[in-house]
Structure 1
Amino acid sequence: MRGQRRGGTPIGPLMESPMPHDRHAAYHADRARDEAIRAISAASADAAAIHQELCLRYSGRVIAALILGAVGKKMD
């Protein structure tokens, strides 16, 4: 789905990012969601643990982007 977000909304240079300081935040949010779904539906505890760890890592990147964005806005 390169060039489009889920749901068919286009991605491009003219589209304003909700977190302009981190252009990968939307990708990390999507991956966190996907990994959470995989963790829930995993067939084994080991697979669930791996997907949960990946979800937490991607979620951490999104949270960091949100915090950095809030800090950046206060500095303006």
Structure 2
Amino acid sequence: MNTPAVIEAGDRVGEHQVSIAMTAIAMCYTLGSVLGPIATGATVSCVSEHGLMISVGIVGVLFIAMLILRRVPAQE
């Protein structure tokens, strides 16, 4: 998922903002790599053995909500 994010950022940001965009991508990727297992482990411990599927479902719903809320208007 890192490579498509880098490609998308390179396409969308200006030449003077590329380093900032790459830093933001690396930060988000690292944060997700650290917090994801912790959140999933806590969900499995607190809820049940179905905690992994619950975590994946929650992340999916959040992703869809972000896509809906961040919809880019059609260009004419």
Range class of TM-score, shorter chain? 0.3 to 0.5
TM-score, with length taken from structure 1: 0.36
Q: TM-score, normalised by structure 2?
A: 0.36
- The structure richer in helix per residue is 2
RCO higher in 1 or 2 (8 Å CA, sep ≥ 6)?
A: 1
